[in-house]
Amino acid sequence: MPIAAAPQTGETPGRCANPARFDVFTATFAAASILLLVLLHARNLLDSDEGVILNGAWNLLNDRRLYTDFFEFLAPGSFYLVLAAWKVFGSSFWVAKCIGITSLVVAAFGVHRIGELVLGVRTRRMDRNLLAASTVLFCIYSGYSPAINHNTFHLPLAVWSTYFAVRALQQGNWRMYAVGGLLAGTCMWLLQHRAVVMAAATLVAFLALGRGTARSASLWGSTAYLLAFLIPVAALLFCWSPSVLLENLIVFPATRYAEVNVMKPTLFLFSASLVVGAAWLLRRAGATVSLLLALQAALLLSVLHRADLSHVTSALFPLLALIPLLLRPMSPVMVQAFQLWIAAGMLALTVPLFTFLSINPEVFFANWSRHPALEFVRERCGASPYLYAGPFAPGLYYETRRLNPTRYSILLTRLHTDEQFVDARADLQAQQPPCVITHYAMAEKFRYTTENPVDVWISANYDPVFELRGRQVWMAKHGDASARTPER
């Protein structure tokens, strides 16, 4: 099969002809990619996943301690990244949004650079165009994920860790191994399970692909990768006790997350078929491609717990970097059939996004921070620093500049334990927030039920006084009646 082989372990690294040349094509392509990312993400739709990060950073800004004063089962890096930006630029939603968009820009450039390493020195115009197209696909796929999110913030680390792993395999340079391991380890601060999966797959590939005279270099390089990976992990253990991290970041998500995230495997199997097709087409393409395919398989398995469009597409960047090799003209009919399937499949993954945007063009640059329910809270709920927003609307704490009286940014039946619901009810009873915001329809996909201690207590002590498209504002029954005039 006429596929150009990538350089083997220990060989001189491949690179594109004149990779640093900043010509008109490069400038136009870079500008178009950045513009696309801005168009897909420059909005505030009060997204709940973004709200988890915003609320965590807002708690930190108000001197609450992560995992002690408030509960989260996400790694700490996203919260502290937003906090650091707020300390420098001010606590603006758009500061946090810029972190996400910048993360995607850096990751997209990394995907492009991985593709250049794969192609090597002999790069045709068609390869160059296909590589640009694959990077644009990466940007389009990002539209499924919220910009202010741990799944987005980790991408630059994951992509560039892969880039340095490829360079390490090609050059046999221990420094490249170490940089790749350090970036993968830092990913533990943002997306713990994916960092572990990436590191394990990379180390196995290093050891499996290092043969002959390259065997010794592979062993030393793998050691450098592992030691560098452990440095950020050790820093994580230095900041929090192992027992706290074990309970919050491993035990809780491992034992509870699947309860609310049961999904049909259709999308996962579809994406897996693309990876299998790519592995068959590139089965003789060399060590570099084998490393990327191993990483791709591991990354896809890492999203099996929630194989939706957001998680699946964010894990496909190694496959995107291989598109120029996958779609090079080949003659056998069977090969062309596989190529057609992969090309059609990668494009098909964009259809739901474009369909949604065409039906809802108003979401471009939309800003729901002035939502009537939030305006009602700002104007009518007094000077209390507390507000309860449930069951899955954590961003409203930051938007109203109020604090959650409970330890839980979200509270979902089937995800959180009965003891946590009782604990949250005790916090509400102690703080008595003047207002509560609920949006139960938002939690229906998690099979949420209001027959729990928190919602029963809210119904007994609060009256709904405002409702708009499923979002309700409740006020305490002992509050001022003039402030509780029902509105619709």
**d(Cα 437, Cα 480) in Å, to the nearest integer?**
18
Q: Which residue has the tokens 């080949």?
A: 330
Q: What are the Cα distances from residue 345, in Å, to 61, 79, 256, 269?
A: 44, 35, 32, 12
- Residue 160 sits at φ, ψ, to 5 deg, of -75, -25
Let me know if 450 is exposed, middle or buried by CB neighbors in 10 A (0-12, 13-18, 19+): middle
Q: Which of 354, 328, 302 is nearest to 118 (CA)?
A: 328
SS3 of residue 478 by DSSP:
coil
What is the value of pTM for the model shown?
0.91
Tens of each residue's pLDDT in the chain, 488 residues? 334 433 443 344 444 444 444 567 777 888 888 999 999 999 999 999 999 999 999 999 999 999 999 999 999 999 999 999 999 999 999 999 999 999 999 999 999 999 999 988 666 778 888 899 999 999 999 999 999 999 999 999 999 999 999 999 998 889 999 999 999 999 999 999 999 999 999 999 998 887 654 677 788 899 999 999 999 999 999 999 999 999 999 999 999 988 888 788 999 999 999 999 999 999 888 899 999 999 999 999 999 989 999 999 999 999 999 999 999 877 787 888 889 999 999 999 999 999 999 999 989 999 999 999 999 999 999 889 999 999 999 999 999 999 999 999 999 999 999 999 999 999 999 999 999 999 999 999 899 999 999 999 999 999 999 999 889 999 998 754 334 433 33
Q: Which H helix or E strand runs over 435?
A: strand 435-438
Let me know if 263 is exposed, middle or buried by CB neighbors in 10 A (0-12, 13-18, 19+): middle
